[in-house]
Amino acid sequence: MKKIAIFASGGGSNAQAIIDYFRSNVEIEVALIVSNDTNAGVIDRAQKEEVPFYILQPDELEEEEFSDVLLALEIDFVVLAGFLKKIPQDILEAYPNKIVNIHPALLPKYGGKGMYGMNVHKAVVNAGEKESGMTIHYVNENYDEGQIIEQHKVALEPSDSAEDCARKVLELEHQYFAPCIEKVLS
Active site residues: 103
Residue whose C-alpha is closest to residue 71's, from 35, 42, 95, 53: 95
Which residue's CB is nearer to ligand GRF, number 15 or number 30? 15
12 binds ligand GRF (CB under 6 A): yes
Q: Alpha carbon of 84 to those of 16, 47, 74, 115, 143: distances in Å? A: 18, 21, 24, 10, 11
Q: What H or E segment, with its residue span, contains residue 141?
A: none
Stretch that binds ligand GRF, among 69-77, 85-93, 97-105, 151-159 (CB under 6 A): 97-105
139 binds ligand GRF (CB under 6 A): no
User: 32: helix, coil or strand?
Assistant: strand
Stretch that binds ligand GRF, among 21-29, 70-78, 101-109, 143-151 (CB under 6 A): 101-109
Q: Which of 18, 81, 99, 123 binds ligand GRF (CB under 6 A)?
A: 81
Between residue 36 and residue 65, which ones bind ligand GRF under the rule CB under 6 A? Answer: none
Residues in the chain, total:
186
Q: How far is the CB of 117 from ligand GRF (least distance, A)?
A: 6
Stretch that binds ligand GRF, among 9-17, 28-36, 50-58, 85-93 (CB under 6 A): 9-17
**DSSP collapsed to 3 states, 57-119:** CHHHHHHCCHHHHHHHCCCCEEEECCCCCCCCHHHHHHCCCCEEEEECCCCCCCCCCCCCCHH
Q: Which of 173, 176, 178, 180 binds ligand GRF (CB under 6 A)?
A: 173
Residue whose C-alpha is closest to residue 58's, from 98, 93, 88, 89: 88
Which residue's CB is nearer to ligand GRF, number 88 or number 104? 104
Q: How far is the CB of 8 from ligand GRF (least distance, A)?
A: 6
13 binds ligand GRF (CB under 6 A): yes
Buried b (16+ CB within 10 A) or exposed e, 39-65: ebbbbebbeeeebebbebeeeebeeee
Which positions touch ligand GRF (CB under 6 A)?
8, 10-15, 81-82, 102-104, 170, 173
